Structure 1
Amino acid sequence: MPASAASAARTILTRLHDVMASRSHAQAKLNTVVEVIGEGLDSEVCSVYLLREGMLELFATRGLAQEAVHVTRMAVGEGLVGTIAQNTEMLNLAEATAHPDFSYRPETGEEKFHSFAGVPIVRRERAVGVLCVQHAEPRRYEEVEIEALQTVAMVLSEVIANAGLVDEEEALLSPALTGPQRLPGLALVKGLAIGAAVFHQPRITIEHVMAEDRDAELSRVYLAFDKMREQIDRMASQAEFGVGGEHEEVLETYKMFAYDEGWSRRIIEAIDSGLTAEAAIERVQQRTRMRMRQIDDPLLADRMHDLEDLSNRLLRIVSGQMGTAATMGLKQDAILIARNLGPAELLEYDKRRLKGVVLEEGSLTAHVVIVARAMGIPVLGRVRSLRGAIREGDLLLLDADAGHVTARPQPAVVDAFEARFAKSKERQAAYAKLRDVEPFTRCGTRITVMMNAGLRDDMPGLALTGADGIGLFRTEFQFLVSATLPARERQTRLYRDVLDAAGDKPVVFRTVDIGGDKVLPYLRHNDGESEENPAMGWRALRVALERGGLLKVQARSLLEAAGGRTLNVMFPMVTEPWEFDAAREVFESQLAYLKTQKKLLPEAIRYGAMLEVPALAEQLDVLAPKLSFLSIGTNDLTQFLFAADRANPKLAERYDWLSPAILRFLKRVIQGVAGHSVDVTVCGEMGGRRLEALALLGIGIRRLSITPASVGPIKELVRKIDLDEIGKAMNGWLMAPPPSLRQALVDWAQQRGIDCD
C-alpha cells in the first residue's frame, strides 16, 4: 500500500485516465476499472454497485463470482451496500458479518471474505452507487486506504455519468421525483404557502473531476484561497463596536479556519491525487460532512459547520458561481429550499415573491425563524432528504400548520389546497376591514391590542392592522442580522426611524435579548464554553449587565432617538428587583451625560420589566412601585414553569397554555400589581391565539401585544365578549378545574357563537 492517500489515488487515477480514453464499451471499461482499483489498493475484492431503477445492482467485480454481475440486486437501505447508499456514509468493518445490516448473498461467493470497506459514489449530493473492497483477513482498513477509495469514488461518479450507466433524472435526484411526494417536517412558523421550489444556493455541478493540468488546478485553488481570505479579513476588519470585544475573538477563530494549513493541505493533496480544484474541495467537504454526523459535542459541531461554510465559499469562488437565489432575484412566487439559513440571508429576498421556507435543519428558536415569524413567512424545518426529493421549479404546497410540504401534487390536491388557501385569505380580508375599528367588548371595555415588531420593515403593519402601537420591539433583530455588533449611530438611526413611523402610537423597546437561543457569533462567554441549558443561562439582561458597554451604547442610542418624545424601555428576563435597578441606572447615567452635551432629551421615560422568570412574581410588591408597565413573556414563562425546553420537539405540544397552572399564575401576577399604576401586557404567541386570548381576558388581562397577523382575529374576538360573563366562568374553572379547561372554553365559546379556531 502506498504511503499516502494522494499517491495511492494518483497511481489509480493515472491508469483510470487511460482506461476511460479507450474506445471500449462501458461495461468493459467498468470491468477494467475494478481491476485497476483492486490492484492499486492491493485488494482481493473490488466491486461497483450502481443505482438502476431504484435498486443497487452489482455492475462489475474483481474477486466475487462473475455470475453474480447484473444478478445481485438490493434495495437502498438493504445490506451493507444499501446502508452506505442510504446514509451516504462509508463503512469500515473488520468483520462484515458482525454488522446488524449485513445481508449474505450466496451467489457472490463472498463467505470467505471477512473485512469490508465501502464508500458511496456521490453525484449532486446523492449516492448513485457504491464502491467497496473486501479482504479475507479480518482487519479495519487504514485511513489512507479509505481516503484513496473515496477519491476514486468521486472520479467514478463522473465516469458513470459520462458512460450513461445511471439515469440523471431518475437516479441522481430521487426515484420519487416522477410523482407527488409528501415530506413531513417540524412546523417552525405556521401558515400556508404555494409556490415554485427555489434553492437558496443552486447546486454547483462539478462537471470535470479528473484534472488535465495539476499546476493549473493548484494555481486556481491558491487564487481562490487568497480571495476567500481577503473576504474574511475584510469582514473581520469591519467591527463597529469598540476594540478587543468578544466578536473579535470569534472572528479570529473564523479566520483561523480560513488560514488552517491542515484544511488547505488536504485540498492540495486531493489535487495532487489527480482531481480538479472543484472536485478536491468537494472531496474534502464530503469528509467534513461525514465527521459532522459523528459529532455529539454542540460546540465542536458548530465549528465543523463553520468549516462547511468556508468550503462552500471556496467552492463558489473557484467555480465562479458566487450568487444565491436572492442575488439573482425571484421570478415568481417561490418556496425557498435550504439546508439552513441565516436571518440576514432571508432578508435579502423579495418579500413580495417569497412565500415560504423549507429547511433540512432548523429549530424552533433559530434566528431565521424569529425573523420569518416577524415577516409572516411560514417555515417548515427538519425535512429529511429534502434536496434529494425536490427539483428546482417543482410546484410545492407548504402546509406549515399540519407540518408537511407536498411536491409535484396532483391537480385535485392543488385545487383543494387553493380552496383552503382562498378561505384563509377571505378571513384575513375580513379581519383587515377591522383596521379602523376600536376593539371594545360587548360590555363597553376598551382592550388595547398592540403588535410585536423587530425590523424597520415591520412598521407598515401598524397602519395595515390598526394596532394600538408596538407593545414589543425586539431590538436584538438588528444584532442577529449583523456580522458585527451594530455601531451606536446605526442603532440610533433604526430607533428614530421606528418612532417616526409609529407617529403618535407608543413603541415599547425591549433592550437587547441575546444569548440562550439567540447566540451571536461575535458575543460569547469569556471561557468559550457551551452551556448545558442555555435557556436558563447567560442571556438577556444578564448579558447586558455583564457587558456594560453593550447596554450603555444601546441606552444612549434610545435616549437620543427619542428626543422630544416619550421613551418606553423594557428590560428582558428580570429575575430580581436589583437587576431592574441596575439597568435603569445605566439609562439614568447616560441621560445625565446627554444633558451635559445639550442633546434633545425624551420628554418622559417609562421603564418596564418583562416577567419571564417565575421568581420575579414573588417580589412584585418590591418592584411594582418602580414600574410604569409590566410585560408577561408567555413563551419563556411557560417553559420555566413546566421545566420544558420549548426548543425540544418532544415537549413542544406537551404542556398547554390553558393549563390551570399557567392561568392561576398569571392571575396572581395581575393581583400582585393591583393598586399600583402599572400597565400589564401579555406579549407572545399565547395572546395571539383566539382561545387563549379569551382565557386571558377572563382572568383580567386588558392589554395584548401579538404578531401583526393576529391583530385582526383578536379584534374580532374582543367585540363578541362580555368580560363579566367570561370572568365568572374563568373564576369557576380555576377554583375547580375541569378535566380539560381547553375543552370547557371551546364549549363555552361555541354555545355563544364565538369562533375560536
Structure 2
Amino acid sequence: MTAVDAARQILTSLHDVMASRARAQEKLDQVVDIIGESLSSEVCSIYLLREGMLELYATRGLNKSAVHVTRMAIGEGLTGSIADKVETLNLAEAKAHPDFQYRPETGEDKFHSFAGVPIVYRERAVGVLCVQHVDPRKYADVEIEALQTTAMVLSELITNAELVDEEDALGLTPEQSGPQIISGLSLVKGLGAGFAAYHQPRVQITQVVADDIEAERHRVYNAFDKMHEQIDGLSAQADFGVGGEHEEVLQTYKMFAYDEGWSRRINEAISSGLTAEAAIERVQQHTRMRMREIDDPLLADRMHDLEDLANRLLRIVSGQLGTAAQQGLRQDTILIARNLGPAELLEYDRRRLKGVILEEGSLTAHVVIVARAMGVPVLGRANHGNGGLRGTVRDGDEILLDATAATATVRPTAPVADAFLQRFAKTKERQAVYASLRDVEPFTKCGTRIQVMMNAGLRDDISALAMTGADGVGLFRTEFQFLVSATLPARERQQKLYRDVLDAAGEKPVIFRTVDIGGDKSVPYLASEMARQDENPAMGWRALRLALERDGLMKAQARSLLEAAAGRSLYVMFPMVSEVWEFDAAKKVFDEQLAFLRSKKKMVPEAIHFGAMLEVPALAEVLDLLLPRLSFLSIGTNDLTQFLYAADRGNPALAERYDWLSVAILRFLRRVSQQTVGSGVDVGVCGEMGGRRLEALALLGIGYRRLSITPAAVGPIKELVRKVDLAELTEAMSQWLLKPETNLRQELSAWAQEREIEFD
C-alpha cells in the first residue's frame, strides 16, 4: 500500500465521521479506531493542548480510565517533545529514547514501538497523534505520511469543535498571550492606537477533505501557472531584490517555483484526498519541520524563500488575493507588514489607518516618505523572536504604537492603556492649542516675521495649508507621482496634478522641486538606467543628475509646470545641485520650453522664480557664483548632514552620530546663511531639522528666517517663534559656536528651559 492509498483510505472514513452530528468526543473516539485499524496498530491515541498541558483525549489500546487524566507539559516525555519541537518521532524502541517517560495509569508498559506526529494549527502544535505497537519496529514511511495527513484533518475537527483554548490553539504561552512590547527603529514619529491587521491576511482554509480530487488537481495546476507568470514577471521589476542580490534571489525563486519535486508532493497530498489548499499547507508543514532541523543560515534562508512561495501559491489557489486595504479597514488599525511600497500604503483609508509596523523598512524607504506626508507613525525593523511578528501578534490584537520611542505594546494591560490614552489626550490638547494659532502670524518677541511653510507631495496634502495656517508650500516633492506610477507619468497627468495643487493653494506660494528619483528611489519604467547599481545610492545617479541625462523626462516636467502655472507665479527648485553649470543646464530646459510655449501663443506664468537645494556641501564653495542666478535657496538638511558626516542616515548604528545640533553642522549652516546676506536671495531650510523645536531654535539663532516642515510641525513651530527674542538667541548661539567642545544640545536645552520654552 502506498502512502497515498493509506491516507486516502483513512480520509474516506474520516470524511463520514466529520460530517456526522456526533459530539466532538465521540468523533475522536471513532477517529482513533479508524486510524488504528487502517494501520494495523494496536494503540492509537490523541493528546490535545488544554490550559497549557497535553491531555490524553481519546485512545484505542491504552486504558480508557487514563483519558482526561493523563496530562503532561510541553517538552515532557515523547509526546511533549513532539509538541515542543513540532516534529515527528518514529522509534522502534520507545524506552531507549532519552525523553521517554513511563505513565503507569495508561497500561503502555507492554508496547515497544512508538510513532507520533504533531497536530498543527497556524504553525503551532495543538496536539499529538500517536500510534504504538507491541513488536519493536519502526513504522514505514507510508504509515508516517498517512499519520501526518490525518493530523491535518484532525486540526480542522479540533479547532472547529473548540476542543482547545484560543491561546493554546495559537500556541501562545501565558507570556505571549499577555502584554508584549515590540521594539524597532523609529521611521515616522508619533502615537497611534488601534487593532492589528496584516497587510497580507492569513489564508483561512475552510475545507480540508476534497469532494472531487480531479477538480482539486485542476485548481492547483492553474494556480501553479499563475504563480509562474508572477515569478517570471519579477525579473522585469527594478525593485525586486536588493543591490547585487537581485539575480540570486530571483534564481532561487525560479528554482523553487519550477521544482517538480515540490509540485509532485502537493499532487500526492491531493491524491490522498486533501483539497488544494490543504495539500499546499500539508507540504508547507513538512517544510517547516525541515527548517527547524537546518543549522546552516544560508539553507534556512532558502527554505524561507520556499515558505514565501508556498504562501503565494496558497493565496492564488484560494482566491484570497486581496490585501487588508482591498478588503477594507473596519476599525482603527495598526497595519503590520514585512515591507510596503508607497502605492500600497496610499490604498489605505487614512481615517482608520493609525500606524504601521514593518518587519523591515529604513529611514530612506519610499513608504516612509509617503507615511510622513500622510501623518502616519511608522515603526520599522520590528521583529519579535523566531516566529517574527506573526508568532506574537494576532489579527485584532489591540496595539499601542509609540513610534517616537520606537516601541509598540501588544495586548496592553488596563493601566498601561489608560496611561497611553492620557498621554494621547494631552498630545491632542496640545494640537488643539497649536490649531488655535492657525490665523496667527509667527512674529518673534522682537517683531521679526518668520516664514513657516510646509512640505507636501500629494494633492490631498494641500488641504493642510488652511488647517495649519502655513505660509505656503516650501517643498512640493513632485517625485511622489513618479514613485507610485507603474509607467512614466504622462505630461497631461503631471500638468493636472500641478494645476490642482496651485488651485488648492490659492494665493499662497508653492515651491515645486523637480523630480528626485534614482539612487535608492528606483522606478520600474527606468529599469535599464537603474541597473547601474550604485554602491552608495544616496550619492549616486539621482535627482538632477538623472533628469539632465534623461532630458525627455526633464522637458516633460518643465512643460507641465509652465502650462499648469499659466497666468500665475511659478516657483521651481532643482535638487542636489553640485556645481553652477548643473543649475544653468536645468534652467536652460525651462527657458527652452518657455520659448516654445510663447511661440505657440500659449499662456505662460506671469513670473518664474528659480531656486536650488543645497544638499551637496561642494555647492557652498561656489555660492558666490550661484547666488546672482537665484531667487531663493533651500537647505536640504537630511541629505546635507549625512554628506557632511559621511554617515548613512538609514543605518541604525550611526543614528546617535546623526545630530543636527553638532557644532560642525551649525557652523556650516551659519556660514551659508551669512553668505546670502545682502544678495537679495531668500534662504531657508526644508527638512526635518526645521520641524524639531530645539533644532528650530538653533536655526533661528544662526540667521534662518524661513522654515519648511511637515504639516504637523507647523503649529508647534509657530508657537515656538512667538517666545523667542532673536537678539538674545543669536548672541547665545554665537558664543556656543566659538567653543568647539560645547555640548550645544545641552546648552540650548538649558537656555530654553530657563525661558519656559518647551522642546521635544
Q: Report the secondary structure of 1:650's partner residue.
A: helix
* Mean Cα deviation higher: 734-743 or 121-130: 121-130
Amino acid at match of 1:218: R
Match of 1:630 in 2: 633
Moved more, 519-528 or 428-437: 519-528
Q: Which residue of 2 aligns with 1:431?
A: 434
Gaps of 5+ in 2: 60-65, 90-96, 103-114, 132-140
The answer as to whether partners of 1:34 and 1:48 remain within 8 angstroms in 2 is no
The equivalent of 1:406 in structure 2 is 409
Q: 1:722 aligns with which of 721, 725, 733?
A: 725
- Output the CA distance in 2 between the equivalents of 1:276 and 1:718: 66
User: What is the CA distance between 1:480 and its match in structure 2?
Assistant: 2.4
2:353 aligns with: 354
Q: Deviations over 1:563-588 (max 9, x none)?
A: 12222122222233333333333333
Q: Secondary structure of 2:75's match?
A: strand
Paired with 2:349 and 2:756, the residues of 1 have a C-alpha distance of: 40
**Alignment-derived partner of residue 473 in structure 1:** 476
Q: Report the CA distance shift for 1:621/1:533 in structure 2 as closer, same or farther (over 3 A).
A: same
Query: Against the structure 1 CA distance between its residues 733 and 247, is the aligned structure 2 distance closer, same or farther, given a 3 Å change threshold?
Result: closer
The answer on whether the counterparts of 1:479 and 1:486 sit within 8 Å (CA) in structure 2 is yes
Equivalent position to 2:99, from 105, 118, 124? 105
Aligned CA distance change for structure 1 residues 84 and 449 (closer, same or farther; 3 Å): farther
**Are the counterparts in 2 of residues 510 and 570 from structure 1 also a CA contact under 8 Å?**
yes
Counterpart amino acid of residue 185 in structure 1: G
User: Does 2:169 match 1:171?
Assistant: yes
Give the Cα separation in 1 of the matches to 2:737 and 2:128: 63
C-alpha contact (below 8 Å) 2:129/2:151 kept by paired residues: yes
Change (3 A) 1:309 1:280: closer
Label 1:482 to 1:155 Cα distance change in 2 as closer, same or farther (>3 A): farther
Amino acid at match of 2:697: L
Matched-pair contact (CA < 8 Å) for 1:181–1:407:
yes
Counterpart contact for 2:7–2:147, Cα < 8 Å: no
Contact 1:330 1:353 in 2 (8 A): yes
Provide the TM-score with structure 1 as the length reference: 0.78
Aligned residues: 703
Q: Assess if the C-alpha contact under 8 Å between 1:9 and 1:151 holds in 2.
A: no
Paired residue for 2:105?
Answer: none
- Matches for 1:584-599 after TM superposition, within 5 Å: 584-599=587-602
**Partners of 2:144 and 2:593 in 1: how far apart?**
62
Deviation of 1:47 after TM superposition, in Å, equals 12
Letter in 1 for 2:720: L
2:715 maps to 1:712: yes
Secondary structure at the residue paired with 2:354? Answer: strand
1:8 positional shift:
5.5
Of 430, 453, 468 in structure 2, the residue corresponding to residue 450 of structure 1 is 453
Task: Quote the Cα distance in structure 1 between the aligned partners of 2:167 and 2:487.
Answer: 43
Conserved? CA contact 1:699–1:727, under 8 Å: yes
Q: Which amino acid aligns with 1:468?
A: D
Aligned residue type for 1:556: R
Shift of 1:291: 8.9
User: Do 1:609 and 1:627's aligned partners in 2 also have CA atoms closer than 8 Å?
Assistant: yes
Distance of aligned partners of 1:745 and 1:282 in 2 relative to their CA distance in 1, 3 Å threshold: same
Distance change >3 Å, CA 445–CA 329, structure 1 → 2: same
Residue of structure 2 equivalent to 1:494:
497
Match of 1:188 in 2: 187
Q: Distance in 1 between matches of 2:274 and 2:441?
A: 69
Please give the per-residue CA displacement for 1:331-376, whole angstroms capped at 9, x wherever unaligned: 4433333443333233233322322223343333333222121111
Aligned to 2:75: 74
Superposed, which structure 2 residues align to 1:513-524 within 5 Å?
513-524=516-527
Contiguous gaps of at least 5 residues in structure 1: 40-45, 62-66, 93-102, 109-116, 134-142, 237-243
Aligned pair in 2 of structure 1 residues 257, 55: CA closer, same or farther (>3 Å)?
same
Q: Which is worse superposed, 742-751 or 278-287?
A: 278-287
| Equivalent in the alignment of 2:137 | none
Displacement of 1:717 in angstroms is 0.8
The 1:564–1:279 alpha-carbon spacing in structure 2 relative to 1, beyond 3 Å, is farther
- Give, in whole Å, the separation in 1 of the partners of 2:626 and 2:9: 77
Deviation at 1:485, TM superposition (A): 2.7
2:365 corresponds to 1:366: yes
CA 1:163 to 1:449, structure 2 compared with 1: closer, same or farther past 3 Å? closer
1:668 aligns with 2:656: no
Q: 1:16 to 1:554 in 2, by over 3 A?
A: same
The whole-number CA distance in structure 1 between the counterparts of 2:663 and 2:622 is: 22
| Distance in 2, Cα, partners of 1:200 & 1:207 | 21
Paired AA for residue 364 in structure 1: L
Give the whole-Å Cα distance in 2 for the aligned partners of 1:642 and 1:132. Answer: 63
Whole-angstrom CA distance in 1 between matches of 2:573 and 2:303:
35
Q: Distance in 1 between matches of 2:410 and 2:128?
A: 28
Q: 1:605 aligns with which of 605, 608, 612?
A: 608
Match of 1:559 among 544, 559, 562: 562
| Distance across 1 between alignment mates of 2:373 and 2:556 | 25
Q: Which amino acid aligns with 1:371?
A: V
Note if 1:736 corresponds to 2:730: no
Does the CA contact (< 8 Å) of 2:28 and 2:58 recur in 1?
Answer: no
In the aligned structure 1, how far is the partner of 2:307 from the partner of 2:682?
45
CA distance in 1, matches of 2:143, 2:360: 32
Post-superposition shift, 1:439?
Answer: 1.0
What secondary structure is seen at the aligned counterpart in 1 of 2:441? Answer: coil
Deviation at 1:703, TM superposition (A): 0.9
Q: In the TM superposition, what is the alpha-carbon distance from 1:232 to its structure 2 partner? A: 11
1:438-468 deviations in Å (ceiling 9; x for gaps): 1111222111110000111101100111111
CA 302–715 in structure 1, closer or farther in 2 if over 3 Å, else same: farther
> Residues of 2 paired with 1:132 and 1:627: CA distance?
80
8 Å CA contact 1:334, 1:356 repeated in 2:
yes
In 1, Cα distance between equivalents of 2:303 and 2:556: 33
Alignment match of 2:749 (pick from 746, 749, 755): 746
1:213 alignment partner AA: D
1:270, distance to aligned residue in structure 2 (A): 5.5
CA RMSD of aligned residues (A): 5.0
Does the 8 Å CA contact 1:54/1:171 hold for their aligned counterparts? Answer: no
Amino acid corresponding to residue 607 of structure 2 in structure 1? A
What's the CA shift for 1:750? 1.2
3-state SS of the aligned residue for 1:701? coil
Worse-superposed segment, 20-29 or 121-130: 20-29
Residue matched to 2:545: 542
**1:571 maps to which residue?**
574
> What is the CA–CA distance in structure 2 between the aligned matches of 1:277 and 1:633, rounded to whole Å?
54
Question: 552-561 or 343-352: which moved more?
Answer: 343-352
Alpha carbons 2:736, 2:742 under 8 Å: kept: no
Q: Give the Cα separation in 2 of the matches to 1:508 and 1:221.
A: 53
Distance in 2 separating the partners of 1:438 and 1:612? 29
CA distance in 1, matches of 2:638, 2:88: 44
Alignment of 1:652 onto 2:651: no
Equivalences for residues 182-261 of structure 1 within 5 A: 182-222=181-221, 261=258
Residue 436 of structure 1: how far off its partner (Å): 1.1
CA apart distance, 1:161: 4.0
Per the TM alignment, residue 691 of structure 1 is displaced from its structure 2 partner at its CA by 0.3
Alignment of 1:361-400 (within 5 A): 361-381=360-380, 382-384=382-384, 385-400=388-403
Hey, what's the Cα distance between the residues in 1 that align with 2:620 and 2:315? 49
Aligned residue type for 1:645: D
User: 1:548/1:38 Cα in 2 relative to 1: closer, same or farther (>3 Å)?
Assistant: farther
Deviates more, 1:330-339 or 1:729-738: 330-339
Residue of structure 2 equivalent to 1:276: 275
Distance 1:574 1:51, change over 3 A: farther
* Alpha-carbon distance between aligned partners in 2 of 1:154 and 1:484, rounded to the nearest angstrom: 45
- 1:492 and 1:560 in contact (8 A); partners too: yes
Higher mean C-alpha deviation, range 686-695 or range 212-221: 212-221
Q: Which moved more, 1:173-182 or 1:625-634?
A: 173-182
- Cα displacement string for residues 2-50 of structure 1 (whole angstroms, at most 9, x for unaligned residues): 9xxxx866765555655776798748957986999999xxxxxx99997
Structure 1 CA distance, aligned partners of 2:549 and 2:405? Answer: 42
Q: Percent identity?
A: 64
* CA distance in structure 2 between the aligned counterparts of 1:20 and 1:305, rounded to whole angstroms: 29
